Structure 1
Amino acid sequence: MTHDPAASRSLNNQAVMLHMAGEAADAIRAYEAALAEDPDNATALNNLGYLLSQQGDWAGAEARYRAALEIEPGKASALANLGAARAAQGALDEGRALMAEAVSADPASAAAWDGLGRLALVAGDLPAAERGLREALALDGPADGTDGGPNRGGGAGRMVTLGAVVGAQGRTAEAAAILEQAVAIAPEDAAAWRQLGVMRFVRQDLGAATEALREALRLAPADAPARRHLGLALLARGRAAEAEAEFARLLDHAPGDWESRTDLAILRLDRGDAASAAALLDGSDAASGADDRARFYHAVAQDLAGDRAAARPRLAAMIEAAGPYAARAARYVEDRP
């Protein structure tokens, strides 16, 4: 069979456009057509592997990446993609090593530096994560970039991750400044506004945190972490009724969020509505997402609502189990014999 590398490149370009448009099935056919024209088209192999990885076909993805690397052993994008695939399947150390190879093969690849940083973050290596993300931003800038295939640029999302990494190392003022840049670049990015609000909350800049979190929720009303932090910020500002309303709205979107469910129950206990608090926490003994905090406050709410027959055995069991709320349960029983 006669191969036509020029036709293969053209078909790969068509496949990339289909891939970026979300037409996965048509993109696969176009990539395969490109490879039929030229089986040694390493770029088409790499791009097809990336699409297959997005569909969860890790074996198929790895086979294409490895085939691309047999043709072009130093192809940075294939090394980076293979590293990401290995890490996604639990081989984190191997993934990081492959990503480091990608950076060595092409130190100007923003995607490889970004991948190296993100895998370092997964491994808990915050300084390495910061370095990788900063190198990627220095190469790519805040705008999205491409890797000769489907869009893999970082954009504001890369800055949001960098802000979180910097904040996690205790440099919260620097982190907030990075996140302010992110929302300036992408004012419609709800995740950027949420992370900025969280960082401001950590810094106890409660008014500014409230503003940022409200903007995040304007853009993404179902964003449970943003609504939870808005509730916490309002509570810290002494606006308990508004905080309670936000926690109630959160549970409309995320009824299984037991941490926020418990927060709302505590607010209702504080205003003397023990029966409503107890009802909120019904099922905490069996719910997979509930913890000892939820169970403790459920028992307290039952007790204060007058259902001692249900509450006292639960408190006694908590004391006997010697878990994290055993001491608090013991003090509660001692104070209210």
Structure 2
Amino acid sequence: MATVEHRENAVTRFAQRIVENVERVIIGKREQIEYLLVALLCQGHVLIEDVPGTGKTMLARALAVSIGLEFKRLQCTPDLLPNDVTGVSIFNQREGRFEFQPGPVFVNVLLADEINRATPRTQSALLEAMQERQVTVEGVTRQLPSPFLVLATQNPVEFEGTFPLPEAQLDRFLMRLPLGYPDEVSEVEMLRNLRKRHPIETLEPVAEADELWALYDQVTDVHVDETLEQYIVGLVAATRSHPDLALGASPRGSIALYKTSQALAALRGRDYVIPEDVRQMAALTLPHRLLVKPESQLRGRTATGIVAEIVERQPLDMGGVR
């Protein structure tokens, strides 16, 4: 296979500005920041999952600020109602009519913090918004702003007072992104940055939302060789017949893997996808769509481990791939 060339383009220049700006707030997580940009370029939603205190909320806020997008934070609790998400009509006595008061979902970047603490009824209020980019309240359908990105967080170690996300809603997230603890050097730098005031308070936009429209077209123009298309379908098909899985990835998983591979290639300065792009994004776009059999869970099998195993074993005909 020929040597892969990295060259600067509009996507890489845009990403570099955003990453460097977000890193003023979130230190030592360049790769995770880039993955969020991949989701943004695919117009997809992200489930950020990790233990408390790893910067999930701050990462979402820093990304929105860096691009000059309107940002709102929705703290999910068991008493949160669907109308608290989508909005409600309130009677205006002066005008003598009902007026619709938009909910927090009418925004460019919505942070649904601790989404698994909301009841299933409230969680379902996000389904139409995430998939159709619209909400229907009292029989009236209203379009959401564009771009529209849902960044949801959940703590995998807390189960008391939580409502696990159903497979239908998990499938609507383009990817699931773990953050992990920072290394010691990054954590020391973080402490120094917080001596006086939080860096998020002085963070300024370094890009404009209008730039995204041209970048969307550039990402969708990234070439995916027919061999890699077959490879993507083969990876997803392997999850459907795996003996440790009760549920494999849906066609939405194939689409997610395809689109994110294109976005990652563009972010890396290429106008074509390579096998490593697919392998890298499979670990983020497929595991949360799988359901491991109970008996396999008892043996320590996880969806992430199974996807890694499939990626390692799935054959790839390299002919014709640059």
Pairwise TM-score range, normalised by the shorter structure: under 0.3
- Return the TM-score normalized by structure 1: 0.23
Q: Which has the higher contact order (CA 8 A, sep 6+)?
A: 2
- Greater share of residues in helix: 1
Higher strand proportion = 2
